[in-house]
Chains A and B, each alone.
Chain A
């Protein structure tokens, strides 16, 4: 692995954190201003009684909005834009939803098992109309488990970068180049965890999240395929084109 000085690692953590805060979509202060307001029962029922395809469209739009912030985050990671275009696309196609799921813990109220969605905090029951309760439950479970790690913004930022720079994605053309970037980011992750006086198992706990994330993303793709089989025209005409590019 590359030998990197502590000063360099500090700088790397700093730049990744800055990029993360610049592209995080919602600042913590903004969320605090919402006073963690949950949807009223009437509002929950309104979401629940939406036609399935409309709720899918709404969620696809929200995911697509979030993706655009992740793309901007990736562009600001040192070395990412120096990768070949094919690999930039491969890494974002495979990693953007993983980063969105990690970022979700910033918008998550563990006490009420709810996530910031469409202006207020929504429990899993808000998403019932999607018809994929198992996946929604798993997503909420994941958010809870991420929140319980109590990662700082720095740690979230570097972990997000680490996920994006996964050198084991299929179809990478310059795998060694990505590996080098990932190794440096992993060192930065170890560095920030040590600096924040985390216990030794912290890095391993984060590594164990990687397989959970991949499983969730696979299930999302499969669930979308199943929905598309039933509503091909809805997906074709009403889903955001970027969403279809990445997940279709």
Chain B
């Protein structure tokens, strides 16, 4: 998670 902040964020975001 720490090394993949953006990917983690995309996974957390609600469906776009």
Contact = CB atoms under 8 A, between A and B. Distances in A.
A100 B8 CA distance: 19
Contacts of A81: 11
Given A71-B11, A72-B16, A76-B15, A241 B1 contact: no
Contacts of A68: 10
Interface string B1-16: 1011111101100011
Interface in A71-116: 71-72, 75-76, 81, 85-86, 88-89, 92-93
A246 B7 contact: yes
A239 to B, nearest CB: 12
B4 A89 contact: yes
Contacts of B11: 71, 75, 81, 85, 88-89, 92
Instruction: Classify the interface of chain B: helix, strand, loop or mixed.
Output: helix
Contact of B15 (A72, A88, A92, A242): A72
Nearest to B9: A242
Contacts of A245: 3-7
Contacts of B6: 241-242, 245
B7 A93 contact: yes
Given A76-B15, A89-B1, A245-B5, 16 more contacts: A71-B7, A71-B10, A72-B15, A72-B16, A75-B15, A81-B11, A85-B1, A86-B1, A88-B11, A89-B4, A92-B7, A93-B7, A241-B6, A242-B7, A242-B10, A245-B7
Interface of B: 1, 3-8, 10-11, 15-16
